[in-house]
A and B are shown apart, each in its own frame.
Chain A
Amino acid sequence: GENVEQHPSTLSVQEGDSAVIKCTYSDSASNYFPWYKQELGKGPQLIIDIRSNVGEKKDQRIAVTLNKTAKHFSLHITETQPEDSAVYFCAASYSNSGYALNFGKGTSLLVTP
């Protein structure tokens, strides 16, 4: 089955700096890669996703890049704010599985003022 590795497990940045989280996946059939933000006591919230037919997608301060050849994808957050502090999860899935998500173990991001 699909195996998703996520690094780093914890990340601390100063407000205004950029944060980068990286994930690798094992199954070349995977074609959908969402990123979720999870705050304490809440369910995961989708922040951005990318499909295998594009290499990069951006939404305001958040961007995701995908390298299908190397089977890795990354989340980039620019101009970080304290409210960005949360646990971030990457995931991979493919349409033939009904898009059942395989998650990484998460990155705990702390943005200090």
Chain B
Amino acid sequence: GAGVSQTPSNKVTEKGKYVELRCDPISGHTALYWYRQSLGQGPEFLIYFQGTGAADDSGLPNDRFFAVRPEGSVSTLKIQRTERGDSAVYLCASSSPEGGGTDTQYFGPGTRLTVL
């Protein structure tokens, strides 16, 4: 079956611009996570959705970052007034609440964001 998909795969923007990154989770997965991975580092947690609501947004670095999941499926990560330090790969993962796989997260290929 289809895995987690993310669009675009690459995004180049200028400092100060607004960007949106999209995540399509595995069908039926109710939990969705966003992570950010800088070069040579492990992914860092940003935000976690259970259904439509953000259950934990403690990882968002500041109020320029915001994410939504209005219908409990697709999610969009929004970054306002981008800074060069926002350049990273943004990863999305999803997991299912059914059976024993509640905690197993499946990752998408990521969106590489470059802020010039």
B108 contacts partner chain A, Cβ-Cβ < 8 Å: yes
> B42: which of A49, A95, A97, A104 is its contact (CB, 8 Å)?
A104
- Find the residue from A34, A93, A100 having the highest chain B CB count within 10 A: A100
Interchain CB contact under 8 A, A100 and B56 = yes
Interchain CB contact under 8 A, A100 and B48 = yes
B residues near A105, Cβ cutoff 8 Å:
40-42
Query: How many residues of A are in contact with the other chain, CB < 8 A?
Result: 26
B82 contacts partner chain A, Cβ-Cβ < 8 Å: no
Residue of A with least CB distance to B91: A43
A25 contacts partner chain B, Cβ-Cβ < 8 Å: no
For residues 6 through 21 of chain B, which have their beta carbon under 8 Å from a beta carbon of chain A? none
Residue of A with least CB distance to B100: A51
Interchain CB contact under 8 A, B43 and A100 = no
> A49: which of B50, B104, B108 is its contact (CB, 8 Å)?
B104
For residues 68 through 116 of chain B, which have their beta carbon under 8 Å from a beta carbon of chain A? 91, 93, 95, 102-110
Interchain CB contact under 8 A, A99 and B42 = no
Interchain CB contact under 8 A, A101 and B43 = yes
Task: Compute how far the CA of A60 lies from the CA of B56 in the bound complex, rounded to whole angstroms.
Answer: 36
B residues near A42, Cβ cutoff 8 Å:
109-110
A residues near B110, Cβ cutoff 8 Å:
42-43
A73 contacts partner chain B, Cβ-Cβ < 8 Å: no
Interchain CB contact under 8 A, B91 and A98 = no
Interchain CB contact under 8 A, B104 and A98 = no
A residues near B35, Cβ cutoff 8 Å:
101
B31 contacts partner chain A, Cβ-Cβ < 8 Å: yes
A29 contacts partner chain B, Cβ-Cβ < 8 Å: no
Can you name 14 A-B pairs with beta carbons within 8 Å? A43-B93, A43-B108, A43-B109, A43-B110, A97-B48, A98-B55, A98-B56, A99-B102, A99-B103, A99-B105, A100-B45, A101-B35, A101-B43, A102-B45
